[in-house]
Structure 1
């Protein structure tokens, strides 16, 4: 079983010198702060990757605090995100759970707290200096007392601390932000609980706990400025995650200090397929040792690969061995591995979808010396190409057939924002599906044909681009229409969900999220 404890490697500074006697899950320590009358504690369930935390304490307020704390020592900028839920409806209305950034474990330490109270009060509060009285803004937000759970995010960006919240299915909204100019660079950060009643102990469950270390972006939304910037970008570590869509609960099943991308769920439902370092690997859905898939002499595979509807064939996109110019070509091989057959003679060509008859594929390609990408249908046996779009401006990407074969879903930006579209298999009847301010990419249709999963990029990126290392969301919308809902909040982008990664039973999905810098200057060749 994969052990989530290894995430500590991504989150801690000077691990060797930091106490490990109370380590739990990804947290290096947990302890009572301020000597509360009732002792707190914590336990971690590895199967579900859920924390149960208990804590007493008179309060987190005035000029000193009493609570139970699970924490790491972290330096620089970071993003803390998790789902929180009190256990039991009874208790003091001022009991508190949430994220806390603290200068030390001293009871009077300066701190920044993203807090949910027992009565639904949701607020950012802070103690600017050691021993000072706690402060909070006037624009407090109250949620219903019986709210089942909330997502809480606390981000440190320089000296600014930012709190965001959401109920699952909704976009994050900012509760408040505040500058902490005297907070040291290296701080404690983690989960907390306080009963607000010195005679009581409260309990809460916390899941989808993620600590991310963003990189300074070198991406610029203006293409002319972007051309002047360095082409390489720091490489972050990666997590391979699965998520059940009924409740949004996520599990990390594999991680690496390097870069891997784009999981497919294998037809038997027992393994995932992903690309790393130009090769493909399979891994059990509950974690384990990745096994390399035989792709013959092809060893520059990028993040566009997928499985035919008959479950027998695998399409891949890869640079040609020995070719100059770095262009990608499309190949097909047996799903069990073997010698790939080239499908496209021209480059660049990126696979994105299989036809339901298993005889054609849809690709994204530049043709006739054009700098614009268009969508094509290609016969696997003959290599004959049929254009599905003929754009002369903008960008299209991600063409994928619905399981019933009636539509090809894709993303396009003819209106200035990247949105999800669909068309008939012959390229006619183009119809826009999503309508919002986000840049929406890579629609993936569930095997039962009921849902579209896709990734949403923030508004400040070039709509033609889907860069790495962004604050993105995964969204779900019904193929029959309706409003989309957010199912995951993460740090990712390029490689997160480029290809269809639905489980065969349409109940789960897999994706890649990022953690923190591990290596620099390494990007997979041939990614578009």
Structure 2
């Protein structure tokens, strides 16, 4: 596969650090290494709906690799070379939706080809779109909209939806409490996300869900840790999320993090894996079609 130009969104690794793409399972068995590099960070794996590929970003490019390993292949994203770690695949596997450096969400054929911008120009001031979810029917995208607030260009972070084919945005939250990671449940009945709604200290994000119209806001976790990025398994039985140490603000890199699994209603949370990671480890849904395995990235230092 070909692409014009080199990647332009490089996240360097520290001296002696590696980025490893791994496959874990919900029973907490020994993870299986798929690919590793010491060149620069790779991030945010997706698992294709047919089970054949893992998709991740590195240096602003999107790549795919077989879950069994091998050499990664670059996906032709129509000249976009500054993709970030917010990308998802359509339910039929034919399209990759990605967030790029221009602040917009774009659609690209999974086999490569021209990019189509999905999102709208908004204002006043800069408005950035960070994609996280696609509805089960493939018609709607859920994203985080970042707007200026209190003199901070990144100060107002809320949940929106937009038609995948293009069209008007719908605001689902409107609060100075930062929200992130919106993702549809497999039945389309809920959007799961993390938010600082109700937090008494800065950064204390917990997990929530709401209806796709923004109603029935429900808190799912209430603990001392900082919980981000809830991902629903394809069978709807499990929520996988990344949990940061108490006192963490945002979702930084290079922390001692824990992957946890809980029931869709927030019950029975349990630890699955612990490793050095954070930003880039589990930003997007990475469940295998079998709803037992998942992909993630860790960043150990020798």
TM-score with structure 1 setting the length: 0.51
Residue correspondence of structure 1 range 445-460 to structure 2 within 5 A: 445-460=232-247
Q: Do residues 276 (structure 1) and 58 (structure 2) align?
A: yes
Residues 470-511 of structure 1 show CA distances to partners (whole Å, capped at 9, x for unaligned) of 000000001144220000000000000000000011010110
Q: Structure 2: give runs of 5+ residues left out of the alignment.
A: 1-11, 122-126
| Higher-RCO chain (CA-CA 8 Å, sequence separation at least 6) | 2
Residue correspondence of structure 1 range 235-314 to structure 2 within 5 A: 236-257=17-38, 258-314=40-96
TM-score with structure 2 setting the length: 0.87
Contact 1:450 1:480 in 2 (8 A): no
Cα distance change, pair 352–507 in 1 and its aligned pair in 2 (3 A): same
Distance 2:224 2:198 in 1: 11
Distance 1:351 1:265 in 2: 16
Q: Do residues 382 (structure 1) and 173 (structure 2) align?
A: no
Distance 2:50 2:166 in 1: 30
Q: Do residues 338 (structure 1) and 129 (structure 2) align?
A: no
Which residue matches 1:497? 282
RMSD, matched Cα:
1.7
1:358 is displaced (CA, Å) by: 1.1
Residue correspondence of structure 1 range 67-466 to structure 2 within 5 A: 234=14, 236-257=17-38, 258-320=40-102, 328-346=103-121, 347-367=127-147, 371-391=155-175, 393-416=176-199, 417-462=204-249, 465-466=250-251
Which residue matches 2:5? none
Distance 1:382 1:247 in 2: 40
Contact 1:402 1:409 in 2 (8 A): yes
1:312 is displaced (CA, Å) by: 2.3
1:366 is displaced (CA, Å) by: 2.1
Query: After TM superposition, what 4+ stretches of structure 1 lie above 6 angstroms from structure 2?
Result: none
Q: Residue 353 of structure 1: SS of its match in structure 2? A: strand
1:415 is displaced (CA, Å) by: 2.4
Q: Residue 444 of structure 1: SS of its match in structure 2? A: strand
Cα distance change, pair 243–313 in 1 and its aligned pair in 2 (3 A): same
1:233 is displaced (CA, Å) by: 8.4
Q: Mark the structure with the bigger radius of gyration.
A: 1
Number of equivalent positions: 276
Residues 236-272 of structure 1 show CA distances to partners (whole Å, capped at 9, x for unaligned) of 4201010122343201111110211000011221221
Contact 2:220 2:265 in 1 (8 A): no
